[in-house]
């Protein structure tokens, strides 16, 4: 099913169009008299007497061709709740089997700017499906026609929502692709094509990475026949040299664990181990599409973690880009090795205002926070508060977890500057974050988002129908819009 939204339509033939109309919390329909016939009005009035008015969506089948939907706007609704209502309406479209809907929200008084935009945004986000490998597809084309003037949304805001949707969908596409298709070589190619949107894309291949001394990142890819890459994507929306905001992502296209091989059960999930990078990519695409007035850079480490004759061994010691040495005690703790080099490189090359990294870093964060919150680790209270606040607002929530120097002894190594796992056990997500912190050399404000529980949803959530969620694109866009643009 694909959904097209048209904004400028008039309600042409009132008698046959499916209608989506908004009413107050008591389903007071007197405001609808101009949009529905008197027979429809009395029919709905009668049915409302026996309907559950606590619901926020009711529908009335007028005849086989026409349905009228009433969306009840309860008091003090938040924008994320309006998005959820739009997503809920998507469920009715699935059931209703009709192709054309006319939507009007002029009938209610609400103070939320872009009210109808949020509703349609939720509908659009929920409608995403990844079906390119299915022979049988749902080919329905749904058109949603918005009419009315009062709650019209400006062209600029239409672009805002569209850019966010395309950024989120691009992230979801990348996460959904299986490991045999989206390996690092292919991924780097797809990123190169982002140039057409005005992003400056730089691809560092193995030869360049070796020259730079990024051995922590390179070690992870050593067992794979595919290449290893670091890709930077720059958006210079301010057209000046002011410090960029930096977003860094873990792009492990498939994580077998390497020589410290993972068990077979659920290993297939590790195709989403590049979700952190996909969020960064989706965010950068969104910024370019809506021509954000901001300087930003996205940096992703693309690599495949495989066992093989040349693979990294447990016990190997590598020298990272920072100069610090790492003893690899477990080749399955590879994400922190990818990010270590990416963080130091980003800080040194771009001197950013702040750095936010995203990674499906630890299974332990799923134990602590499940699929409700991403773990937030940060050296900066201001950045943390901003992230927590926007997370609530767009319903991509975060929970702050501790960093503390006392955890350091757990990752100090006898043979090198540090080791990549904590042998004592416990605090798995924090020790990983504490490890990352060692690669920020100049005290740049930094936040690490462990999204292992958020990037992929087995059962679907408010704004996704299951599968890749695109978690983080809307969160970070909101952070930028509210605090930095």
Q: Residues interacting with Zn ion, by CB under 5 A? A: 252, 255, 273, 335
- 115, 71 contact by CB (below 8 A): no
Q: Quote the CA–CA distance of 349 and 246 in Å, as a whole number.
A: 11
Contact positions with ligand BES (CB under 6 A) in 392-421: 421
- 419, 413 contact by CB (below 8 A): yes
Question: In DSSP terms, which residues pair with 448 in a beta bridge?
Answer: 357, 377
- 49, 60 contact by CB (below 8 A): no
Number of residues that bind ligand BES (CB under 6 A): 15
Quickly list DSSP for 178-243: -TTTS-HHHHHHHHHGGGGGT-EEEEE-HHHHHHHT-HHHHHHHTT-SS--EEEEEEEETTSS-PP
Which of 117, 282, 301, 335 binds ligand BES (CB under 6 A)? It is 335
Q: Quote the CA–CA distance of 447 and 433 in Å, as a whole number.
A: 9
Which of 332, 341, 347, 357 binds ligand BES (CB under 6 A)? It is 332
Q: Quote the CA–CA distance of 103 and 98 in Å, as a whole number.
A: 14
The residue with its CB nearest to ligand BES is: 363
Question: In DSSP terms, which residues pair with 298 in a beta bridge?
Answer: 233, 247
Contact positions with ligand BES (CB under 6 A) in 197-256: 255
Which of 82, 182, 233, 333 binds ligand BES (CB under 6 A)? It is 333
Q: How far is CA 405 from CA 155, 283, 329, 376, 438, in A?
A: 50, 32, 21, 17, 11
The residue with its CB nearest to Mn ion is: 332
Going by C-beta distance under 8 Å and a sequence separation of 6 or more, which residues neighbour residue 75? Answer: 25
Site string for Mn ion, 164-203 (x = CB under 5 A): ----------------------------------------
- Contact segment (CB under 5 A) with Mn ion among 79-87, 236-244, 254-262, 425-433 equals 254-262
Q: Quote the CA–CA distance of 212 and 201 in Å, as a whole number.
A: 18
Contact positions with ligand BES (CB under 6 A) in 17-76: none
Q: Active-site residue 293, yes or no?
A: no
Which of 330, 371, 413, 437 binds ligand BES (CB under 6 A)? It is 330
Nearer to ligand BES, 33 or 313 (CB): 313
Nearer to Zn ion, 173 or 273 (CB): 273
Please report how close the Cβ of residue 339 comes to Mn ion at its closest, in angstroms.
12
Which of 40, 255, 341, 357 binds Mn ion (CB under 5 A)? It is 255
Q: How far is CA 146 from CA 8, 91, 152, 217, in A?
A: 7, 19, 8, 49
Contact positions with ligand BES (CB under 6 A) in 340-379: 360, 362-364
| Active-site residue (options: 262, 349, 353, 397) | 262
Q: Quote the CA–CA distance of 368 and 428 in Å, as a whole number.
A: 10
* Biggest alpha carbon–alpha carbon distance for the chain: 84
Nearer to Mn ion, 40 or 332 (CB): 332
Q: Active-site residue 262, yes or no?
A: yes
Nearer to Zn ion, 252 or 328 (CB): 252
- Contact segment (CB under 5 A) with Mn ion among 92-100, 255-263, 347-355, 408-416 equals 255-263
| CA-wise closest residue to 71 among 89, 48, 87 | 89
Site string for Mn ion, 323-342 (x = CB under 5 A): ---------x-x--------
Going by C-beta distance under 8 Å and a sequence separation of 6 or more, which residues neighbour residue 136? Answer: none
Nearer to ligand BES, 362 or 378 (CB): 362
Please report how close the Cβ of residue 433 comes to ligand BES at its closest, in angstroms.
12
Which of 35, 288, 452, 454 binds ligand BES (CB under 6 A)? It is 452
| Active-site residue (options: 124, 160, 336, 474) | 336
Report, as residue numbers or ranges, the catalytic residues. Answer: 262, 336
Contact residues for ligand BES (CB under 6 A)?
Answer: 255, 269, 273, 330, 332-335, 360, 362-364, 421, 428, 452
């Amino acid at each position: 099913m694909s959904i097209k939204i048209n904004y400028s339509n008039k309600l042409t033939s009132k008698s046959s169009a499916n209608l989506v109309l908004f009413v107050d919390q008591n389903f007071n329909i007197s405001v609808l008299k101009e949009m529905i016939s008197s027979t429809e009005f009395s029919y709905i009035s009668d049915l409302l007497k026996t309907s559950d008015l606590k619901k926020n969506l009711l529908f009335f089948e007028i005849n086989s061709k026409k349905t009228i939907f009433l969306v009840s706007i309860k008091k003090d609704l938040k924008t994320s709740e309006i998005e959820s209502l739009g997503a809920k309406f998507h469920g009715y479209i699935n059931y209703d089997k009709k192709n054309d809907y006319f939507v009007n929200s002029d009938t209610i008084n609400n103070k939320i700017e872009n009210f109808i935009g949020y509703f349609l945004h939720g509908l659009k986000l929920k409608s995403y499906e990844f079906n390119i490998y299915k022979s049988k597809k749902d080919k329905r084309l749904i058109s949603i026609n918005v009419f009315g003037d009062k709650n019209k949304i400006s062209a600029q805001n239409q672009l805002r929502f569209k850019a966010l949707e395309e950024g989120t969908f691009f992230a979801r596409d990348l996460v959904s692709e299986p490991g045999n298709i989206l390996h690092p070589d292919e991924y780097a190619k797809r990123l190169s094509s982002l140039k057409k949107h005005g992003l400056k894309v730089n691809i560092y291949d193995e030869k360049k990475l070796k020259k730079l001394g990024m051995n922590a990142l390179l070690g992870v890819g050593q067992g794979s026949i595919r290449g290893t890459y670091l890709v930077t994507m720059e958006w210079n929306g301010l057209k000046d040299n002011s410090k960029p905001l930096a977003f860094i992502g873990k792009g492990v296209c498939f994580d077998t664990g390497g020589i410290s091989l993972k068990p077979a059960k659920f290993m297939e999930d590790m195709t989403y181990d590049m979700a952190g990078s996909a969020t960064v990519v989706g965010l950068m695409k969104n910024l370019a599409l809506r021509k954000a007035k901001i300087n930003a850079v996205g940096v992703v480490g693309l690599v495949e973690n495989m066992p093989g004759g040349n693979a990294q061994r447990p016990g190997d010691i590598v020298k990272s880009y920072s100069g610090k040495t790492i003893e690899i005690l477990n080749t399955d703790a590879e994400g922190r090795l990818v990010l270590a080099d990416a963080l130091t490189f980003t800080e040194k090359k771009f001197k950013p205002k702040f750095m936010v990294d995203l990674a499906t870093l630890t299974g332990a964060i799923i134990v602590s926070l499940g699929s409700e919150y991403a773990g937030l680790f940060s050296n900066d209270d201001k950045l943390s508060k901003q992230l927590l606040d926007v997370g609530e607002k767009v319903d991509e929530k975060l929970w702050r977890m501790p960093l503390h120097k006392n955890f350091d002894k757990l990752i100090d190594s006898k043979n090198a500057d540090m080791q990549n796992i904590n042998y004592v056990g416990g605090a798995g997500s924090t020790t990983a974050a504490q490890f990352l912190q060692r690669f920020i050399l100049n005290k740049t404000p930094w936040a690490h988002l462990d999204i292992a529980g958020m990037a992929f949803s087995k059962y679907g959530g408010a704004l996704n129908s299951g599968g890749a969620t695109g978690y983080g694109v809307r969160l970070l866009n909101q952070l930028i819009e509210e605090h930095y643009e």
